[in-house]
Structure 1
Amino acid sequence: MDGGGDDGVGDARDDASLTIGAFAARARLSAKALRLYDRLGLLVPARVDEVSGYRYYRAGQTEQARLVALLRQLDMPLARVAEVVHADGDRAAGLLDAYWSAVETRVAGQRTLAEYLRGRLSGRGSEVYEKFVVETVDVPERVVLSETRHTLADELSPWIGASLGRLEEAAGDCGGVTAAPFVVYHAEVSMESDGPAESCVPVADAAAARRWSEERGRTWQTRVRVEPARRLAYTRITKAQVAHPQILAAFEAVEEWIAARGLTVAGPCREVYFADWEAAGPEDPVCDVAFPVE
């Protein structure tokens, strides 16, 4: 426990043993922040008096303290700050680069979302929908290997890639893949709602798929089910449009098209991935956004 002397300025001449108040002044941080950084292991005092509990710092710790403060000005979470602070020079720089790249990606997405919302709020939403061509297609009954997960939006894309990869690999023991993989959204996936979402890969051999699921599918909670024949209303989008908010506009465009023609949505929406994602460029078609209709 810190006493009143813990917050004092102390003897600034004693650089080997600065009180928390003196060190806070040097580092341009508050004593409260230093206590928090100590608890989290970000910046541990040089020593703590066993009797009084006072924290003492070395003058040489000032640079690390200022580094922590600067990283926090980037809105870096404290756990990520700890990783950077405890890494060596090259690795620390790499961790910073990775964090900032993610920030720029997020901000770019938010900027696009703001522009999209501005159009909706100003009554120009129909202009956004007009660029999507909606058609229908009849798909037959299919046996699918599937994997279901509750996931928030920030974890969705990595999970889709990983789960479809696992299912496509398993399909090799089930007669092979017979149609494009797809992801079904049984409920909304956002930063507040976790679905669930279901990755599906159509396979040729139902009996082999069931055997595979019973023997090896438990690790990822893989199951086999029959996807009934359906008529889908869909629009085809590019790799760039798969990102938010463009994909939201695609879903809404299909819903608008369905309502305008007096049709009824007959099941959960889905994304059908028919192209090689890694090989595709930003303007290459990769995905159909679809709703079952009747």
Structure 2
Amino acid sequence: MTEDGIVDDDLLTIGAFAARARLSAKALRLYDRLGLLSPAQVDDSSGYRYYRADQVERARLVALLRQLDMPLTRIAEVLGAEGPEAADRLAAYWADVERRVAGQRTLAEYLRGRLSGRSSEMYEKFVIETVDVPAQVVITESRHTLADELPTWIGASLGRLEAAARECGGPTGAPFVVYHSEVSMESDGPAESCVPVADEAAARKWAAERGPSRQTAVRVDPAARLAYTRITKAQVAHPQILAAFEAVEQWMAGQGLEMAGPCREIYFADWDAAGPQDPVCDVAFPVK
């Protein structure tokens, strides 16, 4: 071995390789442990790691991807692809980052409004009304889910229930989602998608045949009075929708009304056909 850590024309000690890759030996050991960059050779007796000079580019690439806060599993996916596919996987990851940052930016603006005492201004933008709804048979699907998975699950579960409604006498009202507990990045609900149907006996037969695989159920929702506000497709996004829920809660308190059940979102319009400013959803609370 030469003084500069070159074992032969092809192998480098971990120290020499770290210097070329502009990384620490500690980082290289971590990459090895995670399966991102393994040594070309490990001495059985000493445990010394040796790398090839042509591994420098991969080591630097791992370090650069880490600077994007890319999870290790995503790094492995990028490194496992070749050419344009690797670039496409990086682009997909960065698009996810930009969507997350955009959501966080909106949430920060919302929180600034709350912390600066401008909550009442936000709430005044919502028109609150009440409506009496009759008892109805509903078929349901429940799931414990965090906020980032919620929109996808809502669309998929309501689609399944609306298809199933054809076996249960047909739908008799707008589909809705009930939140039995908070859904956030720390709390997973559960949430319950619901579709009102006409035939209770057929609905119970459908649920029995489905079994517990998707936590399906049938129940009769009693007649209720709802306090609600109507929001647009753009306002359904988090955290804009939080202001709608809070506006209804504030109005209820001002009217001396008490919550009589879990809050819900009632989707009365064609979501795919609606534009950002089209009304699509009622944010509602059962009240007494």
Q: Same fold (TM over 0.5)?
A: yes
Give the match for residue 51 of structure 1: 45
Tell me what 2:166 maps to.
172
For the residue of structure 2 that corresponds to 1:268, the secondary structure is coil
Q: RMSD between aligned alpha carbons? A: 1.7
Between the aligned partners of 1:153 and 1:87, the Cα distance in structure 2 is 30
Structure-2 separation of matches of 1:15 and 1:82? 29
CA contact (8 A) 2:146 2:184 kept: yes
Secondary structure of the residue aligned to 2:91 is helix
The partner residue of 2:152 within 134, 138, 158 is 158
Aligned with 1:277 (options 258, 271, 279): 271
Taking the aligned partners of 1:56 and 1:90, their CA distance within structure 2 comes to 30
Q: Is residue 119 of structure 1 aligned with residue 108 of structure 2?
A: no
Q: Which residue of 2 aligns with 1:206?
A: 200
Cα offset for 1:145? 0.8
Contact 2:135/2:222, CA 8 A, preserved across alignment? yes
| Structure 1 unaligned residues grouped into runs of 5+ | none
Paired positions, count = 288
Whole-Å Cα distance in 2 between the matches of residues 15 and 61 of structure 1?
A: 14
Cα distance, 1:134 vs structure 2: 1.0
The equivalent of 1:93 in structure 2 is: 87
Match of 1:253 among 228, 235, 247: 247
SS at match of 1:225: strand
Answer yes or no: is 1:83 the counterpart of 2:77: yes
Pairing 1:67–2:61 present = yes
CA distance in 1, matches of 2:8, 2:128: 75
Gaps of 5+ in 2: none
Select 2:13's aligned residue among 12, 19, 38. Answer: 19
Task: Tell me the alpha carbon deviations over residues 9-49 of structure 1, each in whole angstroms, 9 at most, x when there is no partner.
Answer: 85248451111111111112221111121122111111222
Q: Secondary structure at the match of 1:223?
A: strand
After superposition, residues 213-232 of structure 1 pair within 5 angstroms as 213-232=207-226
**Identity percentage of aligned residues:** 77
- What are the superposed Cα offsets for residues 214-249 of structure 1, whole Å, 9 maximum, x if unpaired? 112432121111111111111111111111211000
How far apart, CA to CA, are the structure 2 residues paired with 1:9 and 1:233? 79
> CA contact under 8 A between 1:129 and 1:250: conserved in structure 2?
yes
**In structure 1, what is the Cα distance between the partners aligned to 2:250 and 2:134?**
25
Distance in 1 (CA, whole Å) between partners of 2:143 and 2:90 is 31
Please identify, of 12-21 and 30-39, the stretch whose mean Cα deviation from structure 2 is larger: 12-21
Structure 1 residue 121: Cα displacement:
1.1
2:154 maps to amino acid? I
Query: Match for 2:17: what amino acid?
Result: F
TM-score (norm 2): 0.95
Counterpart contact for 1:9–1:19, Cα < 8 Å? no
Counterpart check, 1:240 vs 2:229: no
Partner in structure 1 of residue 283 of structure 2: 289
Matched letter for residue 259 of structure 1:
A
* SS of residue paired to 1:173: helix
User: d(CA) in 2 for partners of 1:278 and 1:28?
Assistant: 50
- Say if 1:9 and 1:20, in contact at 8 Å, map to a contact too: no
Q: Which amino acid aligns with 1:67?
A: L
Normalising by structure 1, report the TM-score.
0.93
Give the one of 137, 144, 147 matched to 2:141. Answer: 147
CA distance in 2, matches of 1:157, 1:124: 28
Distance (Å, rounded) in 1 between the aligned partners of 2:5 and 2:105 = 50
Structure 1 pair 9–103 and aligned structure 2 pair: CA distance change class (3 A): farther
